[in-house]
């Protein structure tokens, strides 16, 4: 057991480091943290019985100081509550070590069917609204039963509980808010998985996110027949450092099962067996059930989150729509997936933010939020929305999100590659066109890499702008700052010679040619740098309904509208605003055959070239709707 526990700890730590960009090198701070935890906390392991008799493996860290009572911070995870064994401690406790030093009871639990917990695992398990018997369980019942046990059985607790989690644990944190236990007072879903079809992780607007899903599900979707401290091995037999090469050679998606998974990967099978937004997907999002929420909620996300930018925005909006009795907050910072838990977060790639956004969030926002609701400290007086505005690199405080003062405007495409807030007038040229070839898809990054990474979220887009199958539109040099803050929607008028197509729209900040070379990378020149602000994809067969796809009619001008998710960015005076339009983003997104078929069952013969047109006629003017301050 001890060797398995240590092996699990190493694997879990490695996954965490890959997910959040942590360094594998143990620092002095790491050692200090470990000494502090072992000196000040006692570790307890328990199997807690749920209402249907299934036992969930739960690890509890209790302060050794018995002179006062402490609130409980509770985290539910499918990624291992370990390390396992009473002698092996976590290297960090709580959302960050500032919580451990402030004094809390910390609880980590393997969710049903994962690692050391009993039962069967269901990814993003559906909520059951009308439960009639003890076997009607979901994540809300498991969290309720656990909290009830903790309050009654853990000595020294003050009767108040908070929950938090990042990514999939963020989904479980969201679920604790529904039919919440009375002791649950504060919840923070962070980058919460919220809808795997509409915008988180596995799909965006129905388009399949190939490389991240294949890599992740290679271990996450593997069968687990019985409780174990270990997990399945992750796929590593790529045979090349170049993901573009590997996934191109893979061919159609059906080859994944034929070559690798052999129909044994349960979650992958769920992906390919549910091509449309059917009841399988609709039942798995918590948003429709975010009603009568009683705990205070602070949802957190990152503007450069490569996995779950959709989740925090829709979770916050879903709660806000129903006018909760307790405060509902949103925090969005300049972060990749979960990166706010460590480091200074003062830059990403070549882009500087000129402030230590991580420590500010952890100490002034996150700890203050939980301390107020769980310890009764002074109200931090948080605004409804605490938003980091990139470009200007400032924290902004708003009474609503999107800001009430933001006005909707459109950035229109024009002939000769022009972009403007002015609507096009009649002209001799009414469209641009390009040939999309599935055999030569547009790469999503200029890097040679096998894992998805996060750099593409803020990467220089000049590598794509030079391709003939990428349309480019840009404004003139801005005479004043242009600040967008709120929703982004693409509204395209297009035609194609095929019967299906993907459309990727990217909003880009173009730096001046003489921009100072102040990138953290001393070899990078920032002059004319094309920083991606937001990019999003739409599978056009879902343009009218995600549940009932329709073929495109060859040659017919068709409106394709889609959610690009939110942004808060200042395009500075002297910069330009650019939009790029393309029809592949490979292998981030799987290749569309450009033929109306079930893409999960498509063959090589289904893939075909197609000519796509993007229109900017007066009455059919393609544009992006932005919220301008």
Closest residue by Cα to residue 462 from 389, 411, 420, 513: 513
Q: Judge contact between 540 and 560, C-beta under 8 A.
A: yes
Query: Can you give the pLDDT at residue 425?
Result: 87
pLDDT at 426: 75
Report the distance separating Cα 496 and Cα 558, nearest Å.
9
According to the model, what pLDDT value does residue 31 have?
Answer: 84
Structure pTM? Answer: 0.94
Looking at residue 552, its pLDDT comes to 98
Low-confidence ranges of the chain (pLDDT < 50): 1-24
Q: What is the pLDDT of residue 324?
A: 95
What's residue 1's pLDDT? 40
Report the 10 Å Cβ neighbour count for 512: 17
- Rounded Cα distance, 385 and 333, in Å: 11
Contact predicate 505/579, CB 8 Å? yes
What topology is assigned to 2-195+284-398 in CATH?
Answer: Rossmann fold (3.40.50)
User: Which CATH number is 407-628 given?
Assistant: 2.60.120.260
Alpha-carbon Rg for the chain in angstroms: 25
Residue 524 is predicted with a pLDDT of 86
**Parallel/antiparallel/unpaired status of strands 207-208 and 203-204:** antiparallel
Position 216 scores a pLDDT of 97
Q: How far apart are CA 76 and CA 57, in angstroms?
A: 10
Residue 351 pLDDT: 95
506-539, pLDDT tens digit by residue? Answer: 999 999 999 988 888 887 889 999 999 999 999 9
Exposed/middle/buried for residue 369 (C-beta within 10 Å: 0-12, 13-18, 19+): buried
Per DSSP, 312 falls in state H
Distance of CA 237 to the CA centre of its chain: 26
pLDDT of residue 28: 78
Residue at token pair 């399988």: 280
Q: How far apart are CA 365 and CA 129, in angstroms?
A: 33
Question: Which pLDDT does position 19 carry in this prediction?
Answer: 40
571: part of which helix (H) or strand (E)?
strand 567-571
Are 84 and 45 within 8 A, CB to CB?
Answer: yes
Q: What residue segments make up the domains of the chain, in order of their start?
A: 2-195+284-398, 407-628
Cα gap 110→77, rounded to integer Å = 5
**Bridge-partner residues for 44, per DSSP?**
60
SS3 label, residue 562: strand
Q: Which two tokens stand for residue 132?
A: 């009639």
CB 390, CB 570: distance < 8 Å: yes
Whole-number pLDDT of residue 391: 97
Instruction: State which H helix or E strand residue 388 sits in.
Output: strand 385-389
Q: What is the DSSP annotation of 316-327?
A: HHHHHHT--SS-
């Amino acid at each position: 057991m001890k060797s398995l526990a240590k092996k699990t700890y190493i694997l879990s730590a490695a996954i965490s480091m890959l997910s959040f960009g942590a360094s594998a090198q143990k620092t002095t701070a790491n050692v200090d943290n470990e000494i502090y935890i072992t000196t000040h906390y006692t570790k307890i392991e328990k199997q807690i019985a749920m209402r249907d008799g299934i036992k969930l493996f739960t690890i509890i860290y209790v302060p050794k100081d018995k002179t006062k009572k402490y609130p409980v911070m509770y985290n539910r995870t499918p990624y291992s509550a370990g390390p396992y064994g009473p002698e092996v401690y976590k290297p960090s406790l709580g959302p960050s070590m500032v919580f451990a030093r402030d004094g809390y009871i910390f609880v980590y639990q393997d969710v049903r069917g994962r690692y050391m917990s009993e039962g069967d695992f269901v990814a993003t398990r559906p909520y059951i609204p009308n439960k009639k018997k003890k076997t009607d369980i979901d994540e809300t019942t498991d969290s309720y039963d656990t909290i009830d046990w903790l309050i009654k059985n853990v000595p020294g607790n003050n009767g108040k509980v908070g929950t938090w989690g990042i990514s999939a644990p963020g989904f479980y944190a969201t679920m604790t808010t529904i039919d919440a236990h009375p002791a649950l007072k504060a919840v923070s879903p962070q980058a919460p998985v919220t809808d795997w079809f509409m915008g988180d992780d596995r799909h965006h607007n129905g388009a399949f996110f190939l490389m991240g899903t294949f890599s992740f599900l290679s271990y996450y979707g593997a069968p687990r027949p019985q409780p174990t401290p270990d997990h399945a091995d992750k796929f590593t037999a790529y045979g090349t450092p170049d993901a573009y090469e590997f996934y191109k050679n893979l061919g159609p998606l059906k080859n994944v099962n034929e070559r690798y998974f052999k129909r044994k990967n349960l979650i992958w099978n769920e992906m390919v067996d549910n091509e449309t937004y059917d009841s399988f997907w609709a039942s798995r999002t918590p948003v429709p059930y975010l009603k009568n929420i009683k705990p205070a909620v602070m949802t957190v996300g990152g503007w450069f989150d490569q996995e779950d930018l959709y989740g925090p925005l829709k979770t916050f909006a879903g709660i806000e729509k129903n006018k909760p009795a307790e405060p509902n907050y949103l925090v969005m910072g300049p972060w990749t997936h979960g990166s706010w838990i460590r480091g200074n977060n003062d830059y990403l790639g070549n882009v500087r933010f000129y402030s230590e956004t991580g420590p500010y969030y952890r100490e002034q926002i996150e700890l203050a939020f939980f301390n107020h609701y769980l310890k009764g400290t002074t109200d931090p007086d948080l605004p409804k929305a605490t938003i980091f505005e990139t470009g200007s690199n400032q924290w902004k405080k708003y009474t609503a999100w999107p800001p009430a003062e933001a006005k909707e405007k459109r950035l229109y495409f024009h002939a000769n590659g022009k972009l403007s807030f002015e609507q096009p007038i009649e002209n001799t040229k009414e469209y641009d066109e390009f040939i999309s070839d599935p055999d030569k898809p547009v790469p999503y990054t200029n890097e040679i890499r096998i894992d998805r990474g996060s750099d593409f979220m803020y990467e220089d887009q000049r590598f794509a702008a030079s391709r003939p199958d990428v349309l480019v539109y840009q404004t003139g040099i801005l005479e004043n700052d242009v600040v967008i803050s709120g929703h982004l929607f693409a509204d395209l008028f297009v035609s194609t010679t095929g019967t299906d197509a993907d459309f990727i729209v990217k909003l880009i900040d173009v730096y001046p040619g003489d921009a100072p070379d102040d990138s953290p990378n001393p070899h990078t020149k920032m002059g004319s740098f094309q920083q991606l602000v937001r990019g999003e994809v739409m599978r056009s067969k879902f343009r009218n309904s995600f549940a009932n796809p329709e073929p495109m009619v060859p040659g017919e001008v068709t409106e394709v509208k889609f959610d690009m998710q939110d942004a808060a960015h200042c395009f500075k005076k002297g910069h330009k605003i650019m939009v790029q339009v393309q029809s592949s983003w490979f292998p981030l997104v799987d290749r569309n055959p450009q033929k109306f078929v079930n893409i999960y069952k498509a063959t090589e013969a289904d893939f075909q070239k197609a000519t796509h047109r993007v229109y900017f006629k007066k009455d059919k003017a393609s544009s992006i709707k932005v919220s301008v301050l």
